[in-house]
């Protein structure tokens, strides 16, 4: 049977269309076979507190001295009752106005952590009333090293209406960091007595590590 020219053109176009679909399907199939799923790399957050001590390198200094060495008790650096990690002022807090007290405390964290929560609260628990007579001027977390190499890691939000600073750093690599805090006196009445609490500092890690909390005391 002879096909007319119109029939021949139609047949050829149909066959070419089918062939095109087959080729396109084959290419797509080949491409789908060549795709390799991206591997998910698990990150271990098992860091923990190892120690805390006053920073002395570079330009870091403190107006506090070590009153009680930082010890780990029941997986808490400083003890849950704030019985260790106590730092006392070098000079007593008295009636002087606008006197600054600076703390630069090294926080030693072994291995990576998912988050570090930092909270410091001025106290009104002794003869001296820190929450009434002092303000928080600065609260920051820095890397530790020579002054030229130190880098600001996290500026901690300050809320002087509630006498506190509080914030979360997010993921931190295991390393030594400096907690930088500056407090300033207003008109101090009455004068502080030796041992009066000035500030309690809580540090809490999000981690699978054991020592995930630190409790630090600043006192007169």
Local confidence pLDDT in tens for the 220 residues of the chain: 444 444 444 444 444 454 454 444 544 444 443 445 555 567 889 999 999 999 999 889 999 999 999 999 999 999 999 999 999 999 999 877 789 999 999 999 999 999 999 999 999 999 999 999 999 999 999 999 765 688 999 999 999 999 999 999 999 999 999 999 999 998 888 889 999 999 999 999 999 999 999 999 999 9
Same domain, 125 and 180: yes
Same domain, 23 and 96: no
Same domain, 132 and 75: yes
Nearest Cα to Cα of residue 33 among 25, 23, 21: 25
Which residue range(s) make up the domain with 76?
A: 48-219
Same domain, 114 and 35: no
Q: What is the largest CA-CA distance in the chain?
A: 118
CA-CA distance, 34 to 29, in Å (whole number)? 9
- pLDDT of the residue at 39: 56
CA-CA distance, 163 to 132, in Å (whole number)? 8
Cβ proximity of 108 and 176 under 8 Å:
yes
CATH number, domain of 116, equals 2.60.40.1170
Question: Three-state DSSP class for 5?
Answer: helix
Same domain, 122 and 30: no
> How many domains would you assign to the chain?
2
CA-CA distance, 120 to 102, in Å (whole number)? 14
Distance of CA 12 to the CA centre of its chain: 70
Same domain, 154 and 135: yes
Same domain, 5 and 83: no
Tokens at residue 109, please?
């964290």
Tokens at residue 60, please?
């870091």
Same domain, 23 and 52: no
Same domain, 89 and 27: no
């Amino acid at each position: 049977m002879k096909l007319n020219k119109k029939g021949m053109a139609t047949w050829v176009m149909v066959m070419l269309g089918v062939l095109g679909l087959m080729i396109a399907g084959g290419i797509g199939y080949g491409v789908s076979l060549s795709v390799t799923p991206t591997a998910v790399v698990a990150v271990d957050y098992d860091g923990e507190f190892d120690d805390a001590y006053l920073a002395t390198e570079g330009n870091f200094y403190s107006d506090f001295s070590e009153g009680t060495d930082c010890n780990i008790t029941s997986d808490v650096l400083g003890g849950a009752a704030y019985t260790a990690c106590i730092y006392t002022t070098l000079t007593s807090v008295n009636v002087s106005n606008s006197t600054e007290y600076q703390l630069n405390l090294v926080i030693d964290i072994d291995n990576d952590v998912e988050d570090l929560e930092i909270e410091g609260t001025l106290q009104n628990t002794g003869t001296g009333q820190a929450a009434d007579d002092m303000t928080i001027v600065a609260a920051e977390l820095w890397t530790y090293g020579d002054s030229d190499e130190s880098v600001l890691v996290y500026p901690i939000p300050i809320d002087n209406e509630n006498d506190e600073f509080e914030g979360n750093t997010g993921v931190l690599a295991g390393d030594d960091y400096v907690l930088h805090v500056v407090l300033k006196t207003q008109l101090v009445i009455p004068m502080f007595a030796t041992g009066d609490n000035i500030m309690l500092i809580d540090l809490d890690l999000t981690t699978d590590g054991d020592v995930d909390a630190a409790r630090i005391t600043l006192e007169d």
